[in-house]
Chain A
Amino acid sequence: MLRTPTILVSDDEPLLVNALKREARRFGIDVLTDTKSNVVEIAREHHPDLIVLDIHQSRDGRDLLAELKKHPETRDVPVIMLSANEDQFMRHTCFELGAADYEVKPFDPSFIRKMARMVCPFEDDEPIFAMH
Chain B
Amino acid sequence: MPNAYQRAKVLDGRRSVIFASAAVAAAASAVLQIGIGDKSVSGAWWELSSLVVCAVVAALLRHDDVRRRTGGLVFATLFFVVTTPVVALTLQRSTDVALLFALPLGLAVVFIDRIAVVGVVSMAAIAINVPVLMALGWNTTDLLHGVAVMGALYTAGVLGALEFKRVRDRDDEHTRQLQRASVQQVEGERLLVLGRLAAGVAHEINNPLAYMKANLSFLEKAHEALDDDERQAWAETREGLERVSAIVADLKGLARSAPSGIGAIELEDQLRRVARLAAMRCSSTVKLEIEIEPGLPACRADGQRLVQVLMNLVANACDAIEIGRPQCARVRVIARKAGDRLRLEVHDNGTGVSAENEPRLFSAFFTTKPVGVGTGLGLVLSREYVEAFGGTLAYERSSLGGACFVITMQISESDPPR
B245 to chain A: which residues have CB within 8 Å? 106
A15→B210 CA distance, assembly (Å): 10
Q: Quick one: which of A18, A56, A86, A106 contacts B212, CB cutoff 8 A?
A: A106
Tally of A-B Cβ pairs under 8 angstroms: 59
Contact with B along A91-132 (1 / 0, CB 8 A): 000000000000011110100100000000000000100000
**Interface membership of B42, Cβ < 8 A:** no
Closest to B214 in A: A19
**Interface membership of B143, Cβ < 8 A:** no
Closest to B199 in A: A85
B214, A112: Cβ atoms closer than 8 Å: yes
A19 to chain B: which residues have CB within 8 Å? 210-211, 214-215, 218
Chain B interface, number of residues (Cβ within 8 angstroms): 20
Contact with A along B232-253 (1 / 0, CB 8 A): 0000000001000100010010
A60 to chain B: which residues have CB within 8 Å? none
**Interface membership of B207, Cβ < 8 A:** yes
**Interface membership of B208, Cβ < 8 A:** yes
B218 to chain A: which residues have CB within 8 Å? 19, 22-23, 26
**Interface membership of B176, Cβ < 8 A:** no
A13, B211: Cβ atoms closer than 8 Å: yes
**Interface membership of B25, Cβ < 8 A:** no
Give the interface size bracket for A toward B.
20 to 34
A15 to chain B: which residues have CB within 8 Å? 208, 211
A20 to chain B: which residues have CB within 8 Å? 211, 214
A109, B202: Cβ atoms closer than 8 Å: no
Q: Quick one: which of A22, A104, A105, A107 contacts B215, CB cutoff 8 A?
A: A22
Known contacts A13-B211, A105-B210, A106-B245: does B203 contact A84 (CB below 8 Å)?
A: yes
A85, B210: Cβ atoms closer than 8 Å: no
Q: Quick one: which of B199, B207, B214 contacts A23, CB cutoff 8 A?
A: B214
A16 to chain B: which residues have CB within 8 Å? 207, 210-211, 214
Closest to B238 in A: A109
Those of B175-226 within 8 Å (CB) of chain A? 199, 202-203, 206-215, 217-218, 221
Contact with B along A5-27 (1 / 0, CB 8 A): 00000000101101110110010
8 closest Cβ pairs, A-B complex: A19-B211, A106-B209, A84-B206, A19-B214, A84-B203, A105-B210, A106-B210, A16-B211
- Residues of A with Cβ closer than 8 Å to B? 13, 15-16, 18-20, 22-23, 26, 56, 84-86, 104-107, 109, 112, 127
**Would you list 7 pairs from A and B whose C-beta atoms are within 8 A, ordered by A residue?**
A19-B210, A23-B218, A26-B218, A84-B206, A105-B209, A105-B210, A106-B241
- Residues of B with Cβ closer than 8 Å to A? 199, 202-203, 206-215, 217-218, 221, 241, 245, 249, 252
17 additional contacts (CB under 8 A) given A26-B218, A85-B252, A86-B249: A13-B207, A15-B208, A15-B211, A16-B207, A16-B211, A16-B214, A19-B214, A19-B218, A22-B218, A23-B218, A56-B203, A84-B202, A105-B206, A109-B213, A109-B214, A112-B214, A112-B217
